[in-house]
Amino acid sequence: MSEVELIQAEPRSFVGLRHNLRFTALGPFLSDALPKTLAWLRAKGIPPASPPMAMWSSEEVESGVGDCHAGYFVAEAQADDGLITGGKTAGGDVLRIEHKGPYTTVGPSWQRLTQRAVMLGRNPGFGWEIYLDDPSEVAAEELRTLIYLPLLP
């Protein structure tokens, strides 16, 4: 398992579909949101500036429900266009970890980030994930996910 890193991150703009969902429904949501977002980007002539990503805007850990924005980072902020909406990640102090394994097993990596925030005496903001590998090409045990957790001032 990789180590937790504290990095300085610049805010990044992204576009995608947004939906309030159970954490366990992330896979089907990504399967729907990512192709639609990529088609929208291609129609606009905008190249994605990252592999697929998902940004959490709220989460209720006890209920297992969160507000998720799934899509791609882009070089410049984009205006909302129907179902495709934009957003921006937090900048500044951000904890990062690379998770290796099935997407359904990222929970302990998120917990490590949260524990490190507590150890640093900082409150966490809402984080995001970047999916480095295509699950149709890479075995589930080998999938890599970068997980980011911003620290509030």
Show pLDDT as tens, one digit a residue, over the chain (153 residues): 589 999 999 999 999 999 999 888 888 999 999 999 999 999 999 999 999 999 998 877 677 788 999 999 999 999 999 999 999 999 999 999 999 999 989 999 999 999 999 999 999 999 999 999 999 999 999 999 999 999 998
pLDDT value of position 64: 78
For the chain, the structural domain boundaries read 5-150
pTM: 0.94
CA distances from 18 to 104, 118, 123 (A): 20, 29, 24
Residue 34: predicted pLDDT? 97
* pLDDT reported for residue 28: 93
Q: What pLDDT sits at residue 26? A: 87
d(CA 44, CA 37): 11
3-state class (DSSP) for residue 147: strand
b (16+ CB within 10 A) / e for 93-130:
bbbbbbbebebeebeebbebbeebbeeeebebbbbbbb
CA dist 45 and 119 (Å) reads 44
CATH number given to 5-150 = 3.20.80.10
How many residues appear in the chain?
153
pLDDT at residue 62 in the model: 75
For tokens 């507590």, name the residue: 118
CA 59 to chain centre: 13
**What pLDDT is recorded for position 152?**
95
pLDDT at 43: 97
pLDDT of residue 1: 59
